[in-house]
Chains A and B, each alone.
Chain A
């Protein structure tokens, strides 16, 4: 019996390792290809015989990648800050204030989760045109400034804060905004971290809306830039893979730092949604 158990454990590790290789291999192949020169790119070897940084130099000096990188960073940071502020404020209000219409407002906000983005992009596009927002960062960012899912998440966390704490501060004469910033926000830091990470990743990777609303290459975000650059250089796979690597590296670093929160966030999205 014990022997059989050990055998199943070993086969479990073997199976999981084979799968891990399948999951990671495309990344390895991407990085490996990005260090090959155009002569070696079609060869089957995993480790480049003549590793070169030429592709990276090319991308940073002769393409708009640095600009796209900054565009994406700016958009992801601004929308994340906005989502953190508004979602926690709304979550707090819905959890801790008793006012007519509270339930209705919460249901209305939650119901927007069912609207697929694809249904909204045409009206958004028309809005951007009519309001002359074309070619601005704002046009890319505005639909993501508040997130309904984040409100749901924050409301759940806010309702665990004891009311006495808030009331005591109120009696001490702390302003309503002061209570929110100085007492409530520090108590929900873990939730804020999870929301920030997910929002950042979501905005960094977003494709459909930035593709629709950006018309000049200078305003592209990194994913739109990668798509554009790759179809422009459709035979130079070493350059395409370098572009893909450049857009992936920040997320891998991000992921390694915040893996615990990411796993926790995914679990929450599944078990509470």
Chain B
């Protein structure tokens, strides 16, 4: 009994500072953001007026916000399937070879660990107009038309998606490859003996067994693309999310509202909406994965 009490005291002594940290640096700010979203605060005035749901009504009347939401969904809709399909394919091919597997994996994951800011500027440089940008120079040599890329309202967002897919690819390849290596080889041998061809093995055995990993990656990549910011800030002119807001995602909208126009109420409202979207996606993942555990 005395030992047990001593242990409880020790446990709470060890946990005191961390608990304080999580309350002050995580939970309190979260509640504070919720509260700010019901005010019209502008950072300078001493009073924060409670205005109820007005921010939530007004924000959807803001064309730039609606545009930012649509852009964000576009990033997710283009980026997530692309990164998952390409990385799955790469992992399947990598899993077939015996030599240099680690070497290829190493090269693929390099973009993922390098600073995103540096990566963004390198791609911005490659996307430049002729005769400056590498990709356009290459197109010219191949006899193709040069493209405006980041200068065009229709091509800028897909160009940023390409860069982001390039960055996240290696991460997904590693996870898929680890998943593939947990599939018992007997399943595949048995299917081969039964006369299944490669395509049947892929669709009937490999992909169903990878399902939990696909769901996991779909969710984590969705959250990554929902929170896209650094690439857009660095690759667009003056960090504007241009041309004409065509690349501006939600987080850049939040950044500009909060730290350039000091409209804290609206910015907080947008963060709450982002939080809501992430919550929904996470819950959907939990439901799907719980269903999937039993085959």
Interface residues of A (CB under 8 A from B): 8-9, 12-13, 15-16, 19-20, 22-24, 26-27, 29-30, 33, 42, 44, 86, 89-90, 92-93, 97-100, 102, 105, 108-109, 112, 114-127, 142-143, 145-146, 148, 151, 176, 201, 204-205, 207-208, 211-212, 222-224, 226-227, 230-231, 237, 240-241, 243-245, 247-248, 251-252, 255, 259, 262-263, 266-267, 270-271, 273
Cβ–Cβ < 8 Å partners of B4 in chain A = 98
- Which of A9, A27, A120, A259 contacts B96, CB < 8 Å? A9
Contact call B110/A223, Cβ cutoff below 8 A: no
Contact call A251/B113, Cβ cutoff below 8 A: yes
Contact call A105/B19, Cβ cutoff below 8 A: yes
Cβ–Cβ < 8 Å partners of A116 in chain B = 223, 227, 271, 274-275, 278
- Which of B14, B93, B114, B271 contacts A248, CB < 8 Å? B114
Contact call B268/A122, Cβ cutoff below 8 A: yes
Cβ–Cβ < 8 Å partners of B123 in chain A = 26
Cβ–Cβ < 8 Å partners of A223 in chain B = 115-118, 230
CA distance A26 to B123 in the complex (A): 7
Cβ–Cβ < 8 Å partners of B94 in chain A = 16
B51 contacts partner chain A, Cβ-Cβ < 8 Å: no
Contact call A122/B115, Cβ cutoff below 8 A: no
- Which of B19, B125, B166, B178 has its CB near the most chain A CB atoms (within 10 A)? B125
Contact call B109/A263, Cβ cutoff below 8 A: yes
Total A-B residue contacts, Cβ distance less than 8 Å: 246
A35 to chain B minimum Cβ distance, whole angstroms, is 14
Cβ–Cβ < 8 Å partners of B14 in chain A = 89-90, 92-93, 97, 176
* Residues 152-197 (chain B) with a chain A CB within 8 angstroms: 166, 169-171, 174-175, 178-179
Residues of B in contact with A, size category: 35 or more
Residue-wise interface mask of B (16-40) relative to A, using a CB-CB cutoff of 8 A (1 in contact, 0 not): 0111011001111110110010000
CA distance A231 to B275 in the complex (A): 31
CA distance A37 to B94 in the complex (A): 39
- Which of A115, A120, A241 contacts B121, CB < 8 Å? A241
Contact call A241/B12, Cβ cutoff below 8 A: no
B217 contacts partner chain A, Cβ-Cβ < 8 Å: yes
- Chain B facing A: main interface SS: helix
* In the complex, residue of chain A having the shortest beta-carbon distance to the beta carbon of B198: A8
Contact call A118/B274, Cβ cutoff below 8 A: yes
Contact call A122/B233, Cβ cutoff below 8 A: no
Which 4 A-B residue pairs are closest in the complex by CB-CB distance? Answer: A123-B29, A270-B175, A244-B118, A223-B117
**Of B58-66, B131-139, B200-208, which stretch is located at the interface?**
B131-139
A99-B8, A207-B116 given; A119·B109 CB < 8 A: no
B264 contacts partner chain A, Cβ-Cβ < 8 Å: yes
Contact call A42/B90, Cβ cutoff below 8 A: no
B107 contacts partner chain A, Cβ-Cβ < 8 Å: yes
Contact call A99/B96, Cβ cutoff below 8 A: no
Given contacts A143-B25, A223-B117, A255-B113, list 8 more A-B pairs with CB under 8 A.
Answer: A16-B94, A108-B27, A112-B27, A126-B32, A148-B26, A201-B113, A227-B233, A252-B114
B293 contacts partner chain A, Cβ-Cβ < 8 Å: no
B222 contacts partner chain A, Cβ-Cβ < 8 Å: no
CA distance A181 to B238 in the complex (A): 49
Residue-wise interface mask of B (254-285) relative to A, using a CB-CB cutoff of 8 A (1 in contact, 0 not): 11001100001001100110110011001000
* Residues 97-125 (chain B) with a chain A CB within 8 angstroms: 97, 100, 104-111, 113-119, 121-123, 125
- Which of B4, B10, B36 has its CB near the most chain A CB atoms (within 10 A)? B10
B216 contacts partner chain A, Cβ-Cβ < 8 Å: yes
- Which of B18, B115, B121, B220 contacts A90, CB < 8 Å? B18
